[in-house]
Amino acid sequence: MKTRQPKTAGILAAAFLSLCAMTGQVSAADSALNDILSGNTLKVGTTGDWNPMTVKDPATNSYKGYDIDVMTELANDLGVDLEFVATDWKTLVNGIVGGNYHMTGSASISPARMKVAGFSESYISVEIYPFTLAEKSGDFDSWESINKKEVTVATTLGTTFEGYVRQWFPDATIKVVEAPARGFQEVIAGRADVFVTSNIEGATLAEKFPIAQVEGAEARAPSPIAMLLPQDDQVWINYVNNWVKLKTLNGFFDATAEKWGLK
């Protein structure tokens, strides 16, 4: 998906890049910011399967969601076109490292990802809960009640949830599926008993499907959410970080979160 954005707003970004080059922070040719401005396109990796952050409509090949609004605003302020590059969770970080896109939409900040990629300032956070079918909600009353061999916990390969599931349920039966399949789909189909996800996605799924949060299981792993960026490109990281600060102060992130039911 590619959308056309006004070009005039990119003047400030160009000036920022020129200043960094003159001060010796980075060669203009080395920064993703230069590539974006000279190519007039911001390329963003997105999975399209994290409702309400990023949802892809296969019929129109278009995206909608909180992330999509954020990336559209960023492209507008840069004065460039916006192109979404389809990716999945297991290759999300590799796409940044390999230069397939300039940044990603929202992703949990984790030590594993920080080893090879940079992150923007965080602008929203999530907490993790276990979920099951509503009809099975009486079978579980805590995290410990899930950690049993006869319980199958489903998760998606390459997500932070996969790591949590392996850590939290060493005695349970772990079922890992690959995108575009998702762990919650295994529970809905009756092929698994439990999945874990963020409070953001869980609330959205509970509105559409007969699933329920496990009562008695307190929130775990509060995680800041941010955009993935090339680790060694401090010029681009600085630009995005300052953009996040500006948009936070003018209320953009609060308004967007409210629009998508995240507040």
Per-residue pLDDT band at 22 (split at 50, 70, 90): very low
Q: Cis bond leading into 52, ω under 30°?
A: yes
Per-residue pLDDT band at 115 (split at 50, 70, 90): very high
Q: What is the pLDDT averaged over residues 18-42? A: 74
pLDDT for position 240: 98
Contacts of 184 (CB under 8 A, 6+ apart): 131, 154, 195, 197, 205, 209, 211
Domains and CATH numbers, the chain: 2-124+223-259 (3.40.190.10), 127-222 (3.40.190.10)
pLDDT for position 8: 46
pLDDT tens for each residue of 159-209: 999 999 999 999 999 999 998 899 999 999 999 999 999 999 999 999 999
Q: Residue 46 is encoded by which pair of tokens? A: 């997105």
Contacts of 187 (CB under 8 A, 6+ apart): 131, 132, 133, 154, 193, 194, 195, 211
Between 16 and 231, the higher pLDDT residue: 231
Per-residue pLDDT band at 23 (split at 50, 70, 90): very low
**How many whole angstroms separate alpha carbon 163 and alpha carbon 169?**
10
Task: Examine the pLDDT at 9 and tell me if it is beyond 70.
Answer: no
CA-nearest of 246, 248, 255, 260 to 78 is 246
